[in-house]
Amino acid sequence: MDKIIKGKIFVLGDNIDTDQIIPAEHLVYSLSDPEESKNYGKHALSGVPLSKAGLPAGGIPFIKNGSSESEYNIVIAGSNFGCGSSREHAPFALKVAGVKAVIAESYARIFYRNSVDGGFIIPYESIQKINDSISTGDEIEIDLMNNTLKHIESGKSFNLRPLGDILPIIEAGNIFEYARKSGMMG
Amino acid sequence: MGMTITEKILAKASGKAKVEPGENVWLNVDILMTHDVCGPPTISIWKREFGGDAKIWDKDKLVIFPDHYIFTKNPQANRNVEILREFARQYDIENYYDAGTDRYKGVCHIALAEEGYNIPGTILFGTDSHTCTSGAFGMFSTGVGNTDAAFILGTGKIWEKIPESMKFVFHGKLPSFLTAKDLILRILGDITTDGATYRAMEFDGEAVFSLSVDERMTLTNMAIEAGAMNGIIAADSVIENYVHERTNKPYEIFNSDNDAKYRQVYEYDVSGMEPFVAKPHSPDNLDTVRNVQGTKLTKCYIGSCTGGKLSDFVSAAKLLFGNKAAVPTFVVPASTAVANQLEIETINGISLKEIFENAGCVIAQSSCAACLGGPMDTIGRAVDGETIISTTNRNFPGRMGSKKAAVYLASPLTVAASAITGVITDPRDFF
Ligand code: SF4
């Protein structure tokens, strides 16, 4: 597990559901074929109405035409991120697009579990609302040891909720590695 | 301190006498259900993690319903069904309901009930967020992703955090112009789409126990729209009879203790309620039908695991009887059993199917269809600029297809009334 995640942020609002993270018509691609699965990166966050993509200005596509990787590797959002369908294709799509962590005020349960158990992205909860005081394209640094987020330009720091019960699974890599380590799986 | 029904079932499945909200437990799973969208990736993760000679923990406990993308020419979608078919053949999965055969059932959550997999007191996990539907049978059921499902497939176990419970009590007698859909929309309006995140939603009260099995499933089905882990209704004789007709598997009935602890209790009197809609673009964007009546529509949609059950079509047919739909109206039976019932159930001697045909509705084959948009050739899919009223469960941007479509969610009565006039219409105008 990285101790520091550094990168450029993409800012979103509340209630980003899994249909916005990866629209249903794209759920047909293989997730295990490395080439074909790039389609998930290509369409990641394509269901977000453009005016609400890349806040505060909006109108910023997460993925530039044709690419399967985003220039943004951290997503900052409001409450109830990942609500809606159970599709694991959602955290997977973010991972394929190059996202390392999401920081939201709260998560829907299935998305949260999928992110952790599948080892796709780290779902951090922010303690205060931050998606209204930070802009798409800003550089930040997440310190996983101290559970803080630092805004590089202003030097401002925000506290994140410690990962708690899920930390051992994140450290192990995914639920299978965790189960192997703890002797639950042969 | 007593326990809630959810806590009791989870305690039993984790081999403990008592559990408390917040505690993480490992559960023994009774049934794992998957479908064509999440089944193939679940299988490939399972193979990756458990190796070439991977064993299914108990193949009789695995149930597979292809249901999402069935009637499409999309090659990748069809490939997914082929992967399931091959897997079922290779591992001799008896509970596989293949598309294109007479075993095909349609939407998984309704088929689980019809085929006798919903058993009071048991634990069901499914790779679909609406797996909470089965909670109408006094059991614990919830959705998981592919990784968790692959873990269950190999081990029969999964971790869960014991949820806090919220109780929703409906008193009084339900007026004929209301359905369970109005009740759950009302709750969503009150608690919002994250109002029950990581919690159990328990439904209680004489109005709930007066509902049919179909209608109870509408309540538990949309628990996920409030973010809940599960929705649950204690089993009574109505459920017992339904289960007895389908299976002779043993079951156990649990009830919440009188001193069980709830995070919140909401009480409603249904006798004074009126028909509700969820306006675009969220299931919690509540309003009364009266407040939005007259909104011009381009399409009406009656279908899905939420609003495509027999009781939904009986409600819709009552209003559409002898009337014509003024806008394109899609009738999508959730399951093939429901589709068959449309030919058998009658109103004044006319079958529901004929009533819909006479009204000019398009009757589609059973599947998820446009409930989740789906491939471009999906019947009823929303296109740019549409305004739709639907009996489905979600109206987030793009859920039914185009992000440039506006979707209202409502009861089958409200959708049928609106189909007749072509604008959003209060069903009370027809009573
Ligand atoms: S009908 Fe809709 S909500 Fe129900 S399982 Fe299918 S896609 Fe999901």
pLDDT greater than 80 at residue B344:
yes
Contact B168, B201 (CB under 8 A): yes
Q: What is the pLDDT of residues A60-117, one digit of tens each?
A: 999 998 899 999 999 999 999 999 999 999 999 999 999 999 999 999 999 999 999 9
Question: What is the count of structural domains for chain A?
Answer: 1
- Distance in Å, CA B68 to ligand 1 centroid: 7
Label residue A141 by pLDDT band (50, 70, 90). very high
pLDDT at A186: 62
Looking at residue A184, its pLDDT comes to: 81
pLDDT of residue B323: 98
What six digits make up the tokens of B318? 């009552």
* % helix, strand, coil for chain A, step of 5: 25, 20, 55
Is A152 within 8 Å of chain B by CB? no
Q: Is A102 among the domain residues?
A: yes
Nearest 5°: phi and psi at A35? -70, -50
Closest among B63, B45, B62 to B54, alpha carbons compared? B45
At residue B1 the predicted structure's pLDDT band, cuts being 50, 70 and 90, is: confident
Q: Please give, rounded to a whole number of angstroms, the shortest distance from the CA of B272 to a CA of chain A.
A: 31
Range of the domain at A138: 4-181
CATH of the domain at A114: 3.20.19.10
Name every chain A residue with its beta carbon within 8 A of the beta carbon of B48: 32
Domain-embedded: residue A30: yes
Name residues whose C-beta falls within 8 Å of residue A91's C-beta, 6 or more positions apart in sequence.
A82, A111, A114, A115, A118, A120, A121, B145
Reported as a pLDDT band with limits 50, 70 and 90, residue A2 is confident
Chain B partners within 8 Å of A110 (Cβ): 129, 143-145
Tell me how far the alpha carbon of residue B371 lies from the centroid of ligand 1, in angstroms: 6
DSSP A7-26: EEEEE--S---HHHHS-GGG
- Strands across the sheet containing B123-126: B62-65, B31-35, B123-126, B140-143
Ligand 1 centroid vs B331 CA: distance in angstroms?
15
B393 Cβ below 6 A of ligand 1: yes
Ligand 1 proximity of B372 Cβ (cutoff 6 Å): yes
Query: Residue B193: what pLDDT?
Result: 96
Residue B188 in this model has a pLDDT that exceeds 90: yes
Query: Between residues 12 and 31 of chain A, which touch chain B (CB distance below 8 Å)?
Result: 15, 17, 19-20, 23-25, 27-31
Domains along chain B with CATH numbers: 5-248 (3.30.499.10), 278-430 (3.30.499.10)
Is the separation of the CB atoms in B180 and B218 below 8 Å? yes
The arithmetic mean of pLDDT across residues B311-337, rounded, is 98
Domain-located, residue A34: yes
User: B144 and B371 in contact (C-beta within 8 Å)?
Assistant: no
**Residue-wise pLDDT tens digits, B67-103:** 999 999 999 999 999 999 999 999 999 999 999 999 9
pLDDT > 70? residue A53:
yes
The answer to whether residue A186 is domain-embedded is no
Residues B125-178: pLDDT tens digits?
999 999 999 999 999 999 999 999 999 999 999 999 999 999 999 999 999 999
A134 has pLDDT over 90? yes
Chain B CB contacts of A86 under 8 Å are 38, 127-129, 131, 143-145
What is the per-residue pLDDT for A183? 86
Is the distance from the beta carbon of residue B225 to the nearest atom of ligand 1 less than 6 Å? no
